[in-house]
Structures are given as structure tokens and as C-alpha cells.
Structure 1
Amino acid sequence: MKGERGNMLILGIGIWAFVCVLLAGSVALSIVALERRELVAQADSIALTVADDLNDELYYAGAQHYLPDGRDVVVTAQRLTSGDTRIGDPTGVRNGMVVVTLSRSVPLAFVPEGMPFKNVRIESTSYAILRER
């Protein structure tokens, strides 16, 4: 059995490498999930803020996508976002609801720079129902 020496070492290294890859993947996916959760919270907050600031008289008169001082919903959402968060489509007032769509690019952990899949784009759409009279 002299020719089989070292085979267990290769198997052990292979198993440890597999476990390390699984662990790194779990950490990377957890980071993306936390970032998406933060983006959902931010979109919900912006939709609620815009719905609260919407002028009732202007809304019921037909100007359904403007805030009291004439600012557009998209402009207000851009003012309330932070960092590399972008406003997506649909964003505005539609069918009696304020709709806000945000997207962000999140870098994956443990992926080297320059790889085509280094960044993942996440997106969240939130709705806030306007009050009915």
C-alpha cells in the first residue's frame, strides 16, 4: 500500500476547501440580504413621507404627482435617499398610492475586484396608500 500514501491528505484539503467556500457564500448572501432589508426599510420610509406630505387639495384637483411646494415625487425621493441608491421606475403617485422604487448595487464579499459578478443589483418597490375622504 505504498502507492496510496497522501490520499487522505488530499481528501481532507478538498473537504476543508468546500466548507470554506460554503461559509464564504453564506456570509456574502447574508450581507446582500441585510442590504436588501435596509433598502426595503428606506423605500417604505420614503413612500410614507411622500404620502404624508402630499397636498390633499392638489391631489383631489388632479395634480396627482406633486407635493405642496410644487416638487415632484421623484425629486423628493432623491432628496431623501443616501449614497449610491437610485430612484427606479415606477416612482410617483398611481391609482391612489405613492409608489417608490429604489435600487442599489451591493458588492459581494470575498469576490475579487474585476470579476464580472462582483456587484449585485438589488431593488425594492414600496407603496403607501393615500387617505380617502
Structure 2
Amino acid sequence: MPELPLLGPRLTSQDAHALAMQALADGRARELRVAAAVVDAGGHLLAFIRDDKAFLGAIDAAVAKARTAVYFRRDTAAMQQGLEHGKTAYLALKDALPLEGGVPLYVQGEVVGAVGISGAASAQDGELARAVASELGFTQGKA
């Protein structure tokens, strides 16, 4: 049987682990105790890590932020801003966590996954997620 080519760019497990480890290291450098989750384009968990001192609720929140970013193909900061301006419909979305800290990852204009960070203030989670994605060469929108 002939081998089928991949249908476009994808996030590898190596990329996912590098993102998670970089998030932990950068978080510690900023004195933040965070959890980091990386999901693929379908929202399936590829990598996860949590600082020993991060609160336990950060585990589910990091995964949920990553999944929300990939499901809606947008930085979850935009959703949090919408909530702050009265767009409460976000609260009715199944399996969505519209809080800053989830960032979709783009390669060649395609969403290949997302990173989610939780454990600090939402703005710090978002800033860390965007910084880590950028450091490792992922774009955060269509190029």
C-alpha cells in the first residue's frame, strides 16, 4: 500500500515537549509557578508539565485554555476581554475556558495546536504563553 503524505504542517511531540519545558523554565525565571499544556490541532493533549509549587487547579485550567485556543482558533485573551465587556455568551460554550493564557500555534498559516498556561494572574499566563510560542518559532496568526 502506498504511503500517504501528511496533510499539511503538524505539531510533533518533540515540539510539544519543548514548548511545555520552555514555559516551565520561563515561568520560573519570572518567579511564576505555572502549569503548561500543549494540544494538537484536534485539542488532544501532547505534553503537560506543572511546577511543583503550582496550585492543583492550574492543571485542568491549562489544558482547558489550550483546548479553547485551538477550538476557536484565537488567543483566549480576546475571549476574556469580551467577557469583561459583557459578552457573557462565552460562558455557555461547552468545554471552553475564556480566560487569558491559551494561544493557538500557527505554522504556514495553519493552526497546528495550542499552548495553555495557568497558575499566575491571567495576564501573566497569556504573556508567558505568547512569549514561549514566539521563542520557539510559532506564529500566533495567519502569516
TM above 0.5, one fold? no
Q: TM-score, normalised by structure 2?
A: 0.28
Q: TM-score, normalised by structure 1?
A: 0.30
Query: Who wins on radius of gyration, i.e. which is larger?
Result: 1
